[in-house]
Structure 1
Amino acid sequence: MAINMRVRGLYLIKLVFSCLLIAVFCGGVASIYYYIESNQLMNKELKQRHEGMLEQVRDNIDFKLENAIQSLFTLKSSSELLNYSRSNGEDGYVNTQVYNRLRAHFAVFSRLGYEIDVLRRGAQTVITPEYTVGVDKYLAERGLDANVVLQKLSAMTSSQTLNVYNLQTWKTESKTSGVDEVNLVFTLKENGVVNVYYFISFKNSTLFPQGGNDSYSLSIGDEVVVSKGASAADSVSAGNGAYTLASKRLPNWIVSYLPEVPVSSAEAKQLKIKSVLVALITIVVGAVFAVAIAYMTYRPVRRTLRQVIGDSLNEQASLAESQDEFGMIRNITNTIRRSNQELSTELHRYREPLRGKLLRDLITGVLSKDDAAKQLLQMNMKHLLDVPVCVALLHLSDEYGGFMIDHQIIEGLETLIGNETEAAPGAEWVKIDANRQALLLFDPEDIDVPAMLQRIIHEVHRAYPIRMTVALGNQADSVEDAVMSYHSALRVMEQLMPMNRKHLLTEQDLEKAGATGFYYPLDLEKNLINAAVSRNEHEVRHILQSLVGRFDFDHMDRSSFHQFMYAMQSTVYRIAQQLNCSMEELFQEESPIKGLEQCRSSEQLIEALMLVFVQIFEASDRKSKSLDHLLTDSMLQFVHTQYVRDISLQDLAQHVKMSPNYISFMFKANVGQNFKDYLNSYRVAQAKLLMEEGGCTVNDIAARVGCNNTNTFIRIFKKEEGLSPGQFIARKFRQAE
């Protein structure tokens, strides 16, 4: 059993493993999706933060630039600067006034991070808020070539009212302050003439945020004016992800910003940790659901397995141990299929060919002449249409007078008769019923039919322990009229075989018997047989009175009376056939028909005959009870072996090959309960045995006794025992303690 339990759980292991793989895959997909979505969201937030940072830097630069320009226009409008722009030569007084004016604004300049210096066109001295200095020295302190700068200044003749020129396209370190600066020169027209140059120097530390490794740059057009760290403008040109923004005050001023890293390592690490957690949580939850789904999926497989194999798993140990449940079911199905094929082959061996069925329907009168002709043409038997035919009816019984002949003997007879009829122009062997066969002989005029039949009878009696009687009918002109020959043979057999011990009977024998015999109408005999089989004593007596009243019993000669006895013997014989009984089963002692000779009047004859039929009634009743007992045993055996399946009354009826209504009546009559109640009671009894053994849940017990629904099992159990299965188990446990 351990081996089979391992086999039984192999498919479940595969199922759980497959579901777990799906859960792991889904967890990985969920983790990757979460990582991508979160990374995109974080990058979006980071971009917004960087863009906000760049806007602050741009606004700071615009604010300083706006203040510088406002200061520039304020200075330009002052009387000191107006006098300075109009003076000629080096006027110390005017220069001092300009110096004082610039000095007055120095605190504001310093606080805002810039400085304004002035130079009059043609002058040799630059005036700053701190001192006055020569032009050459002023420019040299800023690392500029005086000749180049002065040449550029002299060329400043722009028509614009305000013009800004960048005198420094690279970073320089002021020799006086020691800090990086950006130096710009502004020109303002007065009366259409540029007389004064305004030098504005912005300190880098006031333009960009300090600290950190982020890079900033300020460009005018395509020219980088100043930068902090790596040139962000170069990164923009190279497409390296720097952010850019134009100045609101001067649109050709471009501020660039390049973060140190797009995403901080701490944020990236945290995102990875969260993604791993999402994967683990998804896998754990998915694993729980996977196991639950696997067991739910496996449940019908387990139920099917139990229904197919039942509790006899040890009998299946020969199946491949490495296979799973479906492998076991597949092997069992293949075994069943092979058995069905073998059964089909076996049935095919004993199935009557269509050719034989056609001939049987033809000679027994089931087919009309027109239908017979059509079907003979369809079966390629056209050559038999216009051929004379003679039918010989063969009656077989065992050496004790019984009617059950082994099918192997029948096959042997077919072979033997086939060998004997090889010389005949044509012969067909047709089965009529279990004990009678018909032999159709075509063109019988060319052979000695009685002699051939005598040889067949002799060979049969010599080879097999059976008794065969052959009745030969009159010859018919064609196979379409074979029904006449068959009925002729049937009449000979029915009337002569009970009273004649000959093995070959013919119409001539019937004529001889009819010349001196007793006339017994077939319809009257048929009615008598039906009344006897149905055990209708009143009808039997009525028919016997009518039969005996047909002749004068007091003046009947001995030969005629013997014919009457033979006729009664024949009728009783046919009744035995209808009841499927032998003469020994009908009459346990010697047949009472022989006692008819002692009768001296019609009344005594009728009573003696009724005594015969009473014994037939009693034998029929014994047979019926015996059959009822066998039927009951068969029905109970079916329930006891198949209760683990979901069986119904229809299944039982198919098993015993009877109608469901009749089986329902017989089951209740012989068992005392209807089928459903008995099945439920038996299932509950088996369930109680399993509960006493222990080790099984209520669900398992329900499945093992054929209840697919546990709630239905609980309801049936409570109805039978008065308490639920759980209460029953608990009571057993308390009793055991």
Structure 2
Amino acid sequence: MDTHAWRRLKHFLETKTPGWKLQNRLLISLILLSSIPVAIVAISSSLISNRILSDQTDQMHQVFLNQVEKEMNNQFKKFDELMLQYTYDNSSLSRFTNEDLTYRNFGLVNDLYTVLTNLRSGMENVVEIDFYSTPYQKIVTSSGLLLQPDEFMDPAALQSSRSLTRYGSWIDTRTHLNSRLERPVITYIRPTTIAGSNVVNSFFIVYLDAASLSAKLKANVSDPATYLVINASGNAVMHSVPSKVGTVVDFPHFREELMKGKNMANYRFTLPIDGKASLVNSVYSANRDWYYVSILPIALVKKETNLLRNLLFSVSIAFILLAVLIAIRTSKRIYLPVHKLTQRVFKQKAVADSKDEIVYITEHIQHMEARNDRLQKTVSQYHSHAEQYSLMSLLVGTSSDTTLHQDTFQDLPVCLLLLETDAVYLQAHYSRNDQFLLYYAIENIAQEVLNAKGITRSLMIQPGLFAIVYQPPSASPQQSRADATELLDAVRSYLKLNIVISADYSERGLQGIHDVFQQAKHALRYSFSLGTNQVIIGGELDPSVSDQADALVEVETLILHSLQSAQYGEAQELFAQIIQLLKDDSSLTSEVVKAYCSQLLGAMMHAVGKDFHSDTETMNMKALTVELDRQRNLQEIERFFHTRFFDNLMASHPEKSSLERLQIEQVVTFIRNHYDQDISLQLCADLVGLSSSQLSRTFKKIMGMNFVDYVIQLRVNIAKELLSDSANSIQAVTDKLRYTSVNSFIRIFKKITGTTPGSYRKDAQDMKL
């Protein structure tokens, strides 16, 4: 020890004024007293920080799991809505179930393959989309295969589909289903129904890639936690480790603990997993009976918090003067999890760094509120359209479900008004746009008049025919008559149109609206006798009027049926009965007769369609209506129909069968001259002025085989000639005959000839030798 230095220090202290030592001791005491609170604050801060970090880490995982669960449900919801739009009462799919899916019917199979390919390209994470036709027990895959059920190699999907009606079904992750699906897949089965009914006639079977969906479980690769989705059976439907997708999660007591959180929004527990104490967070999704789970070893959580505690404790003892810097460092460390949480939630690091995060979160919430407002508007529009469709279904009797109208109409009697305009007159005197403007005006007038009576819904059944359903405080025949009269006066005052209104009401509310609609529609038939601008109550009509109307309607139906089947002479004879029935009723005025005959002329022209309009000398509907209006009596009207309609029609088509044969010969010549080009049924139908369905029926009638079979047979015969020449390769023959691939050509060639193109060429060359 350096005693010399100690003596000098002692001498220095003794020379100072009295009390200096006490002041130094007090100073030391104050320093100690100030350091103890700092140390206590430092230790307390470290413990509190540890707790905050642990809680924030736990909340961060809970928030992330909730977000992942919502995102997954949104993914499945969007997927389900897309499939629902594509399959709900989709009449365009019926042609794939009306005919057998065979390679002989190549065009139909190829069209279905195109539908599957387009549908698959519009969705994410889809491995394969298959179409299962139940009437013919055939399956077409998006990879181009046509399979029988035993070849499909997924009996579970087929078995599940047989129990479905209108809604889809999910099958959780399965692995190694077959040679086509060797990856883990989640299966979705969506039934398609016949339009206008609940009859299921086919299914879409969709396979989603469970591994690619699992990639959405983890926000980034640096996250040390393990994320997985477990179903009620304990299988990993999705897993952040792709190799474990589809495996069974069999940690001791894991499933028992997990089941405890089934009825909780979030549930956490600790459990030894793989020999490590781990923190487990779970979110239960009732939509699919799944558990979204995160697993994080507790050691990873405590590692950073313990480091912070030790650092604060050591710095507080050794560097009291650095307390401010330590506080700044601590505040930064405390804020770091919040910063990471916002980056993980919004996934827009650049935006979060360039702007205060509280402001950014506020703007994000406002953006989400704006999106929700737009979504609410879209949902409201969808509900309005759905309500209109449901009301139409109730009226025509295709549905009895009143669920959509429970918030609109009470379970009380409702009134029904059927308003009919003279559609033929409008067609003859107004353009199409002007006609729909008038229809729009009629609906607005009806809403304005009847909204004051009660809740009102109106829709146009067909051009010129409106159904108006409303619920006044007390529905009755007298009320519906009075309201119909008021509506009639309003339409006549504003639009000057000739209309007829049939009024009725339903005691059982919407449950009986179909029967009332049928009665009211039937009552409209009597308008020809009563005249226009009338309110008709079906139960109050004179029996003689209803009998005469029924007789006319019956003969009208026979005339239209004869015209549609090209029995023009028979239709002319039936028309004579119409004239006689009109002559027998002396009460009919000239205006009523002309109005009735004008409507009948329009229906007859529509029935014959192109057979009448193909005559270049025939006048248009507007000119014919004007000419009909100039006829003075029934005798002249009868002569008008004979000379201007029946004579022109029969003169233009003396032999319809010979015309059909000529049309088919023209189609066959076109196919033979253009076999090396793309040929479709619609193209050939346009060539001869027929619809595709008319050409299909006529072609089979004349040729004895389907259109597609004839094209395939012709191309195979030409392929035989081309293959006989060794200079033509199989690829060249495939391209010339417009097949999509060599495999398709080989398959079709073998199906028709019983041998492959290569074997046929070899046999042909051997015969030449």
Q: TM-score, normalised by structure 2?
A: 0.33
- Larger relative contact order, structure 1 or 2 (CA cutoff 8 Å, min sep 6): 1
Output the TM-score relative to the length of structure 1. Answer: 0.34
